[in-house]
Structure 1
């Protein structure tokens, strides 16, 4: 078993994995309830945070989620720049690090949403779809459809990477767990990564359709991916499987919060680590 160190960035990273895991537990749990007809809803991460906010001690819990998401974002930035996870500087390693940097941006945006709720700055329901807004803005720019198409292709590539990771079965490589625990944690992680991969394929495909037709209304996030699944033949079953997978992904995130190997430079060492990483690319 791993120990929880005193490194500040490591502590924030662990809080971040836990916050992200909790959010996906709620996303998957609510969607699963919707699939089996027991209420629930097919929402995204922001919807899950708003659901927490409306419950007991909502502002406090959402504030903790915001702190965790900022911690996860910081870890993703530091990890991708300094190569703390040692992915390397070959094409594959740089692609993974770039994807992690992108996930840090997404986590930071979600963290700002959570923080605004906790501070009472965003209590009203969201007035629009953020993905549709930025897609509409981008489509209006020169070469906008090509840029939107490239983003959609990147999301699809991320989905394929998730599916490949699930099939390869190396999801527990960075966990400090013995073989007995990995025996049940590994399929849990594979199921979660597979579900995320399917969602990414749908989301990326819809973004590419938006680029083709130059219509931002075609863009849907995770909630749209759930709705797309539900509208298919045997949709409730498909939605139930993918929703359960997102719940599994959330539980796996909570396990990562405790047992993931995190070799992060501390705050006073980060500048030196960044400079070493930059020199290694030259």
Structure 2
């Protein structure tokens, strides 16, 4: 069972990749069914978790998902702050590490949501959090520029996903042989391409919110799916991108098993974080 990890953070990270993978498999599967007119709903990660909650053993399964998402958020934070993936301090490396810390914040929020649902709290949606904080940001000095900057950042993330898919560098950090990469790489490329398209659309929503100074313009993954569905042959576009999100989830399950994770152990993490934060002499 050595592959489960050498230490607590590595085990949590692997559990986290698996939990995130399951969530996106559900997101993509439900959106694909909606595109094909077979039921389902083209919605976001929270809706996928609520779908699990409504099924057999829902609270228990959602509780496990919450633990997994916490592990993923923790790994992203450690990864970004301690440079566990050896990204370095080049401009590109620092941008990637900053993106990982941002990802940690997003998945921490999803962890809180999943945990609340598992405990029987927050059964009804309490508004759109993305629109709420966008409205808060727009009310600040230079707020519309900050919202536009967020939009450009999200779109840059989308471009990065698309470049990663196009170059085939999705399996670089996986401990797989050439034969295994032959089937794993196309799954990852398809998944990253779909995520890239979704990020470009979501980033565009932020730019629209800045242009119109209206937080109501901001939408998440569900809005991206709806925008695709509204295009000519939208059902086909939605079906392709939904299938891509299912592939992204499946690739997450592959990462849970095979990703190279060099995480500091739990009792070494604060030292690693302090070392990362300490200015160089």
Question: Normalising by the residue count of structure 2, what TM-score does the alignment of the two structures yield?
Answer: 0.97
Runs of 5+ unmatched residues, structure 1: none
1-side partners of 2:123 and 2:215: how far apart? 26
1:206 corresponds to 2:224: no
Task: Name the structure 2 match of 1:29.
Answer: 29
Structure 1 residue 6 displacement after superposition: 3.1
SS in 2 for 1:152: helix
Aligned pairs, how many?
281
> Once the two structures are superposed, what CA deviation does each residue of 1:175-208 show, in whole Å capped at 9, x if it has no partner?
1111111101001000000000000000000110
Aligned positions of 1:31-180 closer than 5 A: 31-124=31-124, 126-180=125-179
2-side partners of 1:76 and 1:233: how far apart? 38
Structure 1 residue 279 displacement after superposition: 4.3
Aligned positions of 1:2-17 closer than 5 A: 3-17=3-17
Task: Name the structure 2 match of 1:187.
Answer: 186
> Once the two structures are superposed, what CA deviation does each residue of 1:25-69 show, in whole Å capped at 9, x if it has no partner?
000000000011100101100010011101100000000000001
SS in 2 for 1:176: coil
Structure 1 residue 280 displacement after superposition: 6.9
Runs of 5+ unmatched residues, structure 2: none
Bigger drift between 141-150 and 103-112 goes to 141-150
SS in 2 for 1:3: helix
8 Å Cα contact 1:166-1:194 kept in structure 2: yes
Aligned positions of 1:200-279 closer than 5 A: 200-279=199-278
2-side partners of 1:106 and 1:38: how far apart? 31
SS in 1 for 2:173: coil
Structure 1 residue 131 displacement after superposition: 1.1
2-side partners of 1:269 and 1:143: how far apart? 40
2-side partners of 1:2 and 1:41: how far apart? 39
1-side partners of 2:277 and 2:218: how far apart? 36
2-side partners of 1:157 and 1:205: how far apart? 11
8 Å Cα contact 1:89-1:281 kept in structure 2: no
SS in 1 for 2:3: coil
SS in 1 for 2:272: helix
2-side partners of 1:145 and 1:31: how far apart? 32
2-side partners of 1:240 and 1:234: how far apart? 10
2-side partners of 1:167 and 1:36: how far apart? 27
2-side partners of 1:155 and 1:46: how far apart? 19
1-side partners of 2:5 and 2:265: how far apart? 11
